[in-house]
Amino acid sequence: GEVSRPPPPMPPTYFFAFDVSANAVSSGFLMKAVDTVKETLDELPGGERTHVGFLTYDNAIHFYGLKPGSVTPQMMVVAELDDPFCPAPEDLLVNLGDSRGAVNALLDILPSAFAATSQVDSCMGPAVQAAYMAMNHIGGKLMMFQCTLPSLGQGRLLNRGDDHRNAGTDKEHLGRAPADPFFKKMAAECSRQQICVDIFATASPYGDLASLSTLCRYTGGQLYHYPGFRPERDGLKLRNELRHNLTRFTAWEAVCRVRCSKGFRVSSFNGHFFVRSMDLLALPATNADAAYAVQIAHDEQLPTGSVSYLQCALLYTTADGERRIRVHTMSVPVVPDIAQMFRSIDGGAMSAFLTRLAVERALTARLQDARETMQLKLSQSMREFRLLNTSAARAFNCLIFPDRMRLVPLFTLCAAKSAALRGQTRDVSVDERIRSIYEIMSAPTEAILRRLYPAMYALHAMPPEAGFPNEAGAVVMPPRTVMAGDRVDARGAYLVDDGRQCLLWLGKMLDHGFVNAVFGAQGPPKPDVDFEPTLMQGNQLSKQVCGVIGEIRRRAANGCHCTLTVIKQGDPSEALLFPLLVEDRGAGGAGAMSYADFLILLHRQVAQAGGSR
């Protein structure tokens, strides 16, 4: 019989779906998104292989025919939302080089074409279906730009809002669960056809990210959130994050398999993917910013002194059409006693992994249950170590743990106080909580740890070399300060970095010379603006501050743009800082413990459990 051949390598394919409702237009979101796509076209990976497509949607779906050689895009409107269709499939997803004239013309006219719109509805569900029909023969990345709660067609959603009536009950998690199975079903279909979905959402005060985010989670995509989008505050962030997303190295039509030596098995995965089988992940498009966690179980006794192996193999296609297999193999010695294992623990990886498990549990359980499960795993680990040290087990007045785990209790407390997990507080909207949960589920360890325990730099105490590269080329950073309110001096200026935002806090008694040197005669900007450091003065101090902020932004993981907000002591905007002072009792809402109190509680739990054995 005839031998079947594998399909040709997927070309880098980007399909853009823009919400053009009145909110998207009036907020400036449509203009900023379209402008960014337009200026990034020449940097899309793939060269002559790159394909693009576009649609817009409000109360109807608007397709755009982009015939090769034409400079006039053809708009086709589909008002049938219950059963959407593609009117001219051959011209909807085109080679960028062949149809560049029509693409440029479309992006030039899109914002003005809907400038006078009064449509407030959004048919996001049918738009996803339509984009799927246009892409399913190739696959690629579907970039959704969503401004309004979906209100028409399949996937329409009601405003569930921040309903606190179920807080603390068995129904609490329902507000964090999808309201409609439509989006998860579409995600499964997209994954099957090698389509990855990224969502850039701005709906405020509520956009039901709990429902929409399943499109990203199960297709290996990414969720971006700019609530109540304003160009002066969010424009640069959107531009830089969208640009990074489009231009970064991407592994197309990828699958990932994890193998273990005899006696081990993969028990669970954590991240954004679709599980095809027990050890195989489907990743339509993945990248170096994404991270995945794998939980390994062992089912039988392993011979001491032997070596076991863990292997991760990623099969993917490059933007140039080259099929590759990337293999990582790790050898793990089997040691005779658990104390040796404790001495080899990676405390940062352990903290990030416990946090990942907790935020995933928060999607199906009470926040309190998620926090307690994480803390229970920590106390169990520390109890086991205490029992290995019999002299320490008799000392009930001290907390004993391995040196490599010394920061795990701190990160565990910080996770409980994070936007993803903290409870008994209304300063975190359900959409913001969902964004934080999905960010942690897909972030690398370093990014998770920075989210949990921010860095606070004392800018008023900078050495002369801070902000400038040293002989090795690394930028010298100012001294760091403990994240506690009693370490903040009213005579100082502090820069707080959590990997997603930078807060520049100015004390009431700060020397006016510092303010004038950095901001000039006009003084600090308003707190609702993403201040651009290059607007600072050209003197030595302002150059140092610019250098420090530039280095923080360069280090930011996941392509995240760190916004810069200037806060004066005593202003209402100071509320942005308080949750980040994670070692304080107040940070994390009512009932939250200080770090010292948490260590006392942890010691009590470990000592009592150890004494009961």
pLDDT at 27 over 80: yes
Percent residues over pLDDT 90 in the chain: 78
Q: Is 307 helix (H, G, I), strand (E, B) or coil?
A: strand
pLDDT digits 0-9 by tens, 413-428: 999 999 999 986 577 8
| pTM score | 0.94
pLDDT at 391 over 80: no
The total number of residues shown for the chain amounts to 613
Give me the pLDDT at residue 89, please: 79
| Dist CA 196 CA 213 (whole Å) | 12
Burial letters for 185-205: b for 16+ Cβ neighbours within 10 Å, e otherwise? Answer: ebbeebbebbbbbbbbbbbbe
Q: Which of 560, 349, 326 is nearest to 444 (CA)?
A: 349
| Dist CA 81 CA 79 (whole Å) | 6
Residue 301, token pair as written in the block: 């006794």
pLDDT at 129 over 50: yes
pLDDT digits 0-9 by tens, 90-125: 899 999 999 999 999 999 999 999 999 999 999 999
One CATH from 1.20.120.730, 3.40.720.10, 3.40.50.2000, 3.50.50.60 for 347-447+593-607 = 1.20.120.730
Q: Which of 80, 144, 151 is nearest to 120 (CA)?
A: 151
Contact assessment for residue 207 and residue 183, using Cβ atoms and an 8 Å cutoff? no
Whether the CA torsion 210, 213, 215, 217 is positive or negative: it is negative
* Residue given tokens 């971006």 in the structure block: 224
CA angle 242, 244, 246 (to 5 degrees): 70
Band the pLDDT of 558: cuts 50, 70, 90.
confident
| Dist CA 109 CA 113 (whole Å) | 6
Three-class DSSP labels, 362-420: CCCCCHHHHHHHHHHHHHHHHHHHHHHCHHHHHCCCCCCCCHHHCCHHHHHHHHHCCCC
Q: Which DSSP helix (H) or strand (E) runs through 495?
A: strand 493-497
| Dist CA 253 CA 7 (whole Å) | 11
What is the distance, to the nearest Å, from the Cα of residue 475 to the centroid of all Cα atoms in its chain?
26
Band the pLDDT of 605: cuts 50, 70, 90.
confident
| Dist CA 330 CA 343 (whole Å) | 18
Q: Which CATH superfamily is domain 13-247 in?
A: von Willebrand factor, type A domain (3.40.50.410)
pLDDT at 278 over 90: no
Give me the pLDDT at residue 613, please: 47
* Residue given tokens 């990345």 in the structure block: 141
Band the pLDDT of 43: cuts 50, 70, 90.
very high
Contact assessment for residue 350 and residue 405, using Cβ atoms and an 8 Å cutoff? yes
Contact assessment for residue 103 and residue 174, using Cβ atoms and an 8 Å cutoff? no
| Dist CA 107 CA 111 (whole Å) | 8
CA angle 471, 477, 482 (to 5 degrees): 150
* Residue given tokens 């910080």 in the structure block: 414
What does the pLDDT average to over 240-244? 97
Helices 367-388 and 347-361 pack at an angle, to 10 degrees, of 150
Residue 272 — left, alpha, or beta (φ > 0 → left; ψ -120 to 50 → alpha)? beta
* Residue 387 burial (10 A CB sphere; 0-12, 13-18, 19+): middle
Which ranges in 144-223 belong to alpha helices (H)? 182-192, 209-212, 214-217
Residue 436, token pair as written in the block: 């934080």
| Dist CA 145 CA 21 (whole Å) | 11
Band the pLDDT of 403: cuts 50, 70, 90.
confident
Give me the pLDDT at residue 590, please: 56
CA angle 313, 317, 318 (to 5 degrees): 115
CA angle 333, 338, 344 (to 5 degrees): 55
Contact assessment for residue 256 and residue 222, using Cβ atoms and an 8 Å cutoff? no
Task: Name the CA radius of gyration of the chain, rounded.
Answer: 26
Q: Where are the chain's structural domains?
A: 13-247, 252-334, 347-447+593-607, 454-581
Whether the CA torsion 449, 451, 456, 457 is positive or negative: it is positive
pLDDT digits 0-9 by tens, 177-197: 999 999 999 999 999 999 999
Residue 449 is which amino acid? L
Lowest mean pLDDT among 150-159, 283-292, 351-360, 387-396: 387-396
Percent residues over pLDDT 70 in the chain: 96
Contact assessment for residue 494 and residue 457, using Cβ atoms and an 8 Å cutoff? yes
Is the previous residue joined to 303 through a cis bond, with omega within 30 degrees of 0? no
Q: Is 528 helix (H, G, I), strand (E, B) or coil?
A: coil
pLDDT at 384 over 90: no
Band the pLDDT of 397: cuts 50, 70, 90.
low
Q: Which CATH superfamily is domain 454-581 in?
A: Severin (3.40.20.10)
Band the pLDDT of 394: cuts 50, 70, 90.
low
Q: Which of 529, 541, 514, 536 is nearest to 566 (CA)?
A: 529
| Dist CA 134 CA 78 (whole Å) | 13
Q: Within 13 A of 106's CA, how many CA atoms are on the CB side?
A: 27
| φ, ψ dihedrals at 431, nearest 5° | -65, -40
The CATH class for the domain spanning 252-334 reads mainly beta
| Dist CA 394 CA 386 (whole Å) | 9
pLDDT at 216 over 70: yes
